[in-house]
């Protein structure tokens, strides 16, 4: 059992804060990190693949996992759309002696933090402002106006919960955010 066994790093952020960019930068720097693939009942987007980007389940399959207590956390993020973390996924990564990395919703992140305490580092990626967040979402060109408004409303609620996280990184300047997140992870993982 390595010193890392049983540790979790949880990234969370409103949509458009730049969390995925940060996570994609950090993962290669720490070979002991391994990504927890979330389960979802939504359909794949673009080139997303089952077992790589998400475990894509039907609503019925998802609910069966919930009923079987096979999820560490889950929620209905939008009406009829579920996201969650399979217990088997975390156990698979720990069995490899690695640290589990999550990229999940705020509610799910805080739920995991409450379950794992000091074994978990909950890191919130904050956009400089809701306005900038909205600009970034529009810039993606992937969502309808209604969806953007939904995401902005959700982001406002999520940003208010930032103080509940262990650490908050404001992604105003990406290089600064990368350096901050790197230092936080080194500290938590005990990397030299």
Q: What is the CATH number of the domain that holds 15?
A: 3.40.50.300
Q: Is residue 12 part of a domain?
A: yes
Share of the chain above pLDDT 90, in %: 68
Q: Is residue 107 part of a domain?
A: yes
Q: Is residue 106 part of a domain?
A: yes
Which pTM does this prediction carry? 0.83
Quick one: CA torsion of 74, 7, 115, 9, rounded to 10 degrees?
-50
Q: Is residue 1 part of a domain?
A: no
Contact 27, 33 (CB under 8 A): yes
- Note down the domain range covering 68: 8-189
Q: What is the mean pLDDT of residues 52-57?
A: 94
Order of strands across the sheet that contains 8-12: 33-35, 99-103, 8-12, 120-126, 167-170
| Average pLDDT score, the chain | 91
Higher pLDDT, 120 or 136: 120
Q: Is residue 153 part of a domain?
A: yes
Residue 17 pLDDT = 83
User: Is pLDDT above 60 for 94?
Assistant: yes
Euclidean distance between CA atoms 37 and 34, whole angstroms: 9
- Total number of domains in the chain: 1
């Amino acid at each position: 059992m390595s010193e890392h066994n049983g540790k979790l790093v949880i990234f969370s952020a409103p949509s458009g804060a730049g969390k995925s960019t940060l996570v994609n930068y950090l993962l290669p720097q720490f070979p002991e990190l391994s990504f927890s693939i979330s389960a979802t009942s939504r359909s794949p987007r673009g080139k997303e693949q089952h077992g790589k980007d998400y475990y894509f389940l039907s609503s019925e399959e998802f609910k069966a996992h919930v009923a079987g207590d096979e999820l560490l956390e889950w929620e209905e993020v939008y009406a009829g759309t579920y996201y969650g973390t399979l217990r088997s996924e975390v156990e698979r990564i720990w069995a490899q002696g690695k640290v589990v990395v999550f990229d999940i919703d705020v509610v799910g992140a805080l739920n995991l933090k409450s379950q794992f305490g000091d074994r978990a580092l909950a890191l919130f990626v904050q956009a400089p402002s809701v306005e900038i967040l909205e600009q970034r979402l529009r810039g993606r060109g992937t969502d309808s106006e209604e969806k953007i408004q939904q995401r902005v409303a959700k982001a406002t609620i999520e940003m208010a919960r930032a103080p509940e996280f262990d650490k908050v990184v404001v992604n105003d300047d990406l290089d600064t955010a990368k350096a901050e997140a790197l230092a936080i992870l080194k500290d938590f993982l005990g990397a030299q």
